[in-house]
Amino acid sequence: MSGKLRVAMIGAGFMGAAHSQGWRVAPHFFDLPLEPQMQVIAGRTPGAVAKAARKWGWAESATDWREVVARDDIDLIDIVTPGDSHAEIALAALEAGKHVLCEKPLANSVEEAEAMAAAAVRAAAIGIRSMVGFTYRRVPAVTYARELIASGRIGTVRQVRAAYRQDWLRDENGPMTWRLEKERAGSGALGDIGAHAIDLAEFITGLRLDRVTGTLDTIVRERPLLGEGVGLSGTASHERGTVTVDDVAVFAGRFEPVDGYSPIGSFEATRFATGRKNALTIEVSGSRGAIAFDLERLNELELIDASGSELDQGFRRILVTEAQHPYLAPWWPAGHMLGYEHGFSHQVVDLVTAIAEGTDPHPSFAEGLHVQQVLAAVEESSDHEGRWTSVG
């Protein structure tokens, strides 16, 4: 590694642990063109952020993100705060000439995301890079699925079936958390996990959604207020609060036309799919094959090649753990599994490489904005009796 890349992280919640692991581990497995330095982490609460710094391996901690953004000894700002502060921080960071990695969703509104995407374009013109953190693109099986489809392996894409299903709101007495408040979270199941399903569908197929029809709903509308809580669910008190975000979203979309036909996609995002813990699933049906993926089995990809005899066709379960599979070479021998966090190392690899090579990393803020526009179009459709609504 010829140079350093001095990183500051803004935010000290759950996603911070995952991003930190990415920064820490990637250099030990991949040959990076720049050496990341885990310089400083910024958070609101002095004690908590100092503890996070120690635990996650950041050299320093800070409580004022503006000061961090202004520091000369920082090259990159990694934003892992809740979505309501993404825009402000990212705009300040780009303005200050820092590269930016911003956790998804890009922002809590299309307007914010537009400003961010515009700022990213201006920054790119002077060599400042920005990227939004849809890390599931970097699960090797997902990247490989995209490669298979891009190479024509399944023929023309005809249909997409995607869903992200969890069940952590199943218990109607589970407490309120910030993720259930519209002001903080921006959106509910749609924005939090539906966004992943959208990005995954677009990434794997290489196609963009043009228009959507959809319905949002809140299955459980009142929940006990959070007492002293930690983590995603927390513990409950006796008072009750109102859930102001959706907890289920069912929608459909049309992708841009391929060979004259606009493939149809069905989507679902829910936190009430009892027994499904993290089931981000996608199936893409093509004219000569299909692929299927489930994040709960993230080292596996199912593929059917329907171009030969019908007699021996069937979905095959590929363990995407061979050295030649995307991102795999530096890890373990074939058949040894990767986990959730490896995507964060891969994200670091791609981002650092793009910065070193002077290219624009993906997903760009423009791509993040597009996902935001899809989310907004789904909400608008839901507000208008489910009518088909154009994206953007």
Piece of the chain touching a second copy by CB under 8 A; list 41-49, 92-100, 305-313, 361-369: 305-313
Q: Verify binding: residue 313, a second copy, rule CB under 8 A.
A: yes
Q: Is 268 exposed, middle or buried (0-12, 13-18, 19+ CB in 10 A)?
A: buried
Q: Which is nearer to a second copy, 81 or 345 (CB)?
A: 345
Q: Which of 4, 44, 66, 316 binds a second copy (CB under 8 A)?
A: 316
- CA 167 to CA 160: how far, in whole Å? 23
Residues in 86-105 at the binding interface with a second copy, rule: CB under 8 A: none
Contact 188, 372 (CB under 8 A): no
Extract the tokens encoding 352: 């650092």
Q: CA 118, 121, 122 angle in degrees (round to 5)?
A: 90
Restricting to residues 24-43, name those near a second copy by CB under 8 A. 24-25, 28-29
Contact predicate 198/370, CB 8 Å: no
**Per CB under 8 A, which region of 60-68, 88-96, 260-268, 347-355 contacts a second copy?**
260-268
The least distance separating a second copy from the CB of residue 240, rounded to whole angstroms, comes to 16
Contact set for a second copy, span 285-304 (CB under 8 A): 285-290, 296-299, 302-304
The span of 43-51, 75-83, 95-103, 317-325 binding a second copy (CB under 8 A) equals 317-325
* Nearest approach, Cβ of residue 47 and a second copy (Å): 16
Could you say which residues in the range 346-375 bind a second copy, by CB under 8 A?
none
User: Contacts with a second copy: how many residues (CB under 8 A)?
Assistant: 95
Question: Least separation, in Å, of the C-beta of 315 and a second copy?
Answer: 5
> Which residue in the set 126, 228, 275, 358 belongs to the binding site for a second copy (CB under 8 A)?
275
The C-alpha atoms of residue 392 and residue 382 are separated, in whole angstroms, by 16
**Using CB under 8 A, which of 3, 46, 47, 57 touches a second copy?**
57
Q: Which residues of 57-85 are buried (b: 16+ CB within 10 A; e: fewer)?
A: ebeebbeebeebbebeebbbbbbbbbbbb
Three-state DSSP class for residue 21: helix
140 in Cβ contact with 300 (< 8 Å): no
Q: Which of 10, 18, 77, 375 binds a second copy (CB under 8 A)?
A: 18
User: Considering only residues 166-205, where is the footprint of a second copy by CB under 8 A?
Assistant: 166-168, 170-172
Listed residue (74, 63, 57, 52) closest to 21, CA to CA: 57
CA distance 141 to 133: 17
Applying the rule CB under 8 A, the residues between 122 and 151 that interact with a second copy are 144, 148
Q: How far apart are CA 324 and CA 333, in angstroms?
A: 11
Q: Which stretch binds a second copy (CB under 8 A): 22-30, 84-92, 126-134, 199-207?
A: 22-30
